[in-house]
Structure 1
Amino acid sequence: MKSISLYALFPTDRLKKLRNLRLPGQRLTTCAVGPLAALFGPTRPLPLASDRKTLGRALVEFQFMLETLLPLGPVLPAAFVCQFADTDALDAFLIAHAEKLQQALAEFGSRRQHQIAIRYDGSGAAPGADWPHAFETILREACVDVLMLPREDETVLFNAAVLIEGDGTERLDAALEKIDAFDTAALRIKCAGPLPACAFASVRAEPLAVERVNDACERLAVAREASLPDIKAAFRALMKVVHPDVRTSSDVARGAETAAREARDLLLRVREAELALDKAGRRFPAPPPALRFLRADSSGQAA
């Protein structure tokens, strides 16, 4: 079966609106798992990273689709690439991580993202060295979060994604007016948006290889079906052996401690996901895909 891509998550009370959604060139499908409604479709071949023109066009199409979803209400966007082998894998992912996904939808679903780019056209006095910091301070007072982005060229003084509450547009406008007052003639402010909170909490699924889970079990010396208390107890026992305060070689100890913590965290996440599937009366032959919330300034946070 052809793989599928997740685009966004919604509360299930938006399911009827989702089923009536039509986008040019998109074959969209919906499903509901508990309180979550998912919008997904067939995975399209991704352009090579070197093919910037095609990749840019694909990103623009993805952004347009997310903009189209805004009138439907609270939305938690998926990352640009969020693929599953089939609908069974998607169902397992949604069931296994339902609680964390609901929390993220409640926190970010009604918030909106804008991108603020501020250029200096050179017509006035040279901008102060502290202006970018002042711009950031003003925006942080008006927004829920500010995420600094790379500047495209030397004419760009400031480039950031900002996150506002659903009713925060007036506060954002007032903040931009304060910034514009620094030099109304020479500053060029571009505010693009709104979008869902793509840069702040995009959903990403990461397949977990059976070998990786087995290696973690071996490191902690626990069985594959070990319970949560068993995994924690095995980790504590291992720490008594590999902790830097015990080992004579601190470098080796630090490496062993890091590996043990990573194994514990992985097994706890996998076991919690499997318990959620068991509770729902569902079985999945492989470890359920891991959940990661991506943020544009980092690789993301495992959940």
Structure 2
Amino acid sequence: MRLREIVAVLEGHPPSVLPEGTEAVCEAGLTAILGSPPGRLSGRRALLEHAARRQAVLERLMACGTVLPALSGSGLTPAEAAAALAANGPRLRQELRRLAGRVQFQVLVQWDAGLAPTRTEPEETAEDLRLRFADRIAEALAGVAEQHVNLPLRDDLLANQALLLPQSRTDDLDRSLEQIDALWTEGLRIRQIGPSPPVSFASLTFRRVSSAAIRRARHRFGLEGPVDPIRLRALRRDLLLRAAEAERAEILAAADVLDLLTRCAASGGDLHLVRIWSEGQAVPADLEDAA
């Protein structure tokens, strides 16, 4: 069966009209929106064009409710996508509830360094002014955002932030940007991008779980045969209480694999585990190691 790229997951039924070039797969009260795989993208222009097409699809889907976006390159067949929705339903619904009613904005504040001498205080350098304005801008944006991440800065930027906030607070963001503009109207240029789905705060990817990963997880918990969910939770709690900090991530990852087994014991196909990525984190480690 043909491979498709996961674009997003929604809760409930698919929209009556899908964005062009996409299809929907529904399972367990969830809908995966699938698009054509990008193939080999060579060069910056091709990458940017693909990203722009995906972003346009995500923004169209916002009319249907909360959108949990996917990292580019998450490819599954429609049958695998349906199985992955069923297997990872609790985790996906938890993330959709967390993001309900929330949107992402990106705010960039550019400054004209050549005009800095006209705004500096006595004994203040242009660098002092840059830091002072950057602090004021960060403070203003922090007042409206539930979460924020700092994105890469060019030399001419004082701020480049992705903000997660309730859709009901977009007017507060507008007022915050007015306050920033008032700092130095002639020397600052503000660009606002959004609203969009929270791609910088929660982007999913599905990774195949290899037989080796399952064996390691069973060994970590000392489990053979069918995995009982109640016993698994008790073992997880006990191991975490006794574990050193460096071991906790491995224990949690193994528990995720075994938890997946409790819901897919009779599926007979490959298992795919959802991972949620956010800006500043490494892309989740691949579970498709050697069998």
TM over 0.5: yes
CA distance in 2, matches of 1:36, 1:236: 33
Shift of 1:142: 1.1
In the alignment, is residue 79 of structure 1 matched against residue 66 of structure 2? Answer: no
CA distance in 2, matches of 1:224, 1:235: 20
Shift of 1:262: 5.1
| Residue in structure 2 matched with residue 108 of structure 1 by the alignment | 99
Call closer, same or farther: CA 1:221–1:12 in 2, change over 3 Å.
Answer: closer
CA distance in 2, matches of 1:43, 1:75: 20
> C-alpha offsets along residues 231-275 of structure 1, whole Å, 9 cap, x if unaligned?
8659968998xx78xxxxxxxxx9xx73xx555333321222222
| Residue in structure 2 matched with residue 169 of structure 1 by the alignment | 170
CA distance in 2, matches of 1:263, 1:129: 40
- Residue pair 2:8, 2:67 contacting (<8 A) in 1 also: yes
TM-score, structure 1 normalization: 0.80
Shift of 1:76: 1.6
| Residue in structure 1 matched with residue 54 of structure 2 by the alignment | 62
Call closer, same or farther: CA 1:143–1:230 in 2, change over 3 Å.
Answer: closer
SS at match of 1:133: helix
Q: Please tell me the residue identity of whatever aligns with 1:297.
A: G
Q: Please tell me the residue identity of whatever aligns with 2:207.
A: E
- Unmatched tracts of structure 1, length 5 or more: 245-253
| Residue in structure 1 matched with residue 186 of structure 2 by the alignment | 185
Question: Equivalent of 1:45, from 39, 45, 67?
Answer: 39
| Residue in structure 1 matched with residue 273 of structure 2 by the alignment | 290
In the alignment, is residue 146 of structure 1 matched against residue 137 of structure 2? Answer: no
Q: Which segment drifts farther, 68-77 or 164-173?
A: 68-77
In the alignment, is residue 95 of structure 1 matched against residue 86 of structure 2? Answer: yes
- Residue pair 2:102, 2:166 contacting (<8 A) in 1 also: yes
Call closer, same or farther: CA 1:69–1:174 in 2, change over 3 Å.
Answer: same
CA distance in 2, matches of 1:180, 1:44: 40
| Residue in structure 2 matched with residue 247 of structure 1 by the alignment | none
CA distance in 2, matches of 1:218, 1:73: 41
| Residue in structure 1 matched with residue 289 of structure 2 by the alignment | none
Q: Please tell me the residue identity of whatever aligns with 2:31.
A: A
Question: Equivalent of 1:275, from 242, 262, 270?
Answer: 262
Call closer, same or farther: CA 1:227–1:188 in 2, change over 3 Å.
Answer: same
Shift of 1:300: 6.0
- Unmatched tracts of structure 2, length 5 or more: 120-125, 286-291
CA distance in 1, matches of 2:104, 2:241: 43
| Residue in structure 2 matched with residue 34 of structure 1 by the alignment | 28
| Residue in structure 2 matched with residue 249 of structure 1 by the alignment | none
Call closer, same or farther: CA 1:33–1:224 in 2, change over 3 Å.
Answer: same
Shift of 1:220: 4.9
CA distance in 2, matches of 1:12, 1:237: 36
> C-alpha offsets along residues 19-75 of structure 1, whole Å, 9 cap, x if unaligned?
42242xx2x211221221221133230314xx2121111111111221222222322
Count residues with an aligned counterpart. 273
| Residue in structure 1 matched with residue 2 of structure 2 by the alignment | 2
| Residue in structure 1 matched with residue 108 of structure 2 by the alignment | 117
Call closer, same or farther: CA 1:238–1:62 in 2, change over 3 Å.
Answer: closer
SS at match of 2:201: helix
Call closer, same or farther: CA 1:107–1:20 in 2, change over 3 Å.
Answer: same
CA distance in 2, matches of 1:237, 1:164: 36
SS at match of 1:5: strand
Question: Equivalent of 1:299, from 251, 276, 282?
Answer: 282
Call closer, same or farther: CA 1:232–1:41 in 2, change over 3 Å.
Answer: same
Shift of 1:119: 0.7
TM-score, structure 2 normalization: 0.83
- Residue pair 1:217, 1:224 contacting (<8 A) in 2 also: no
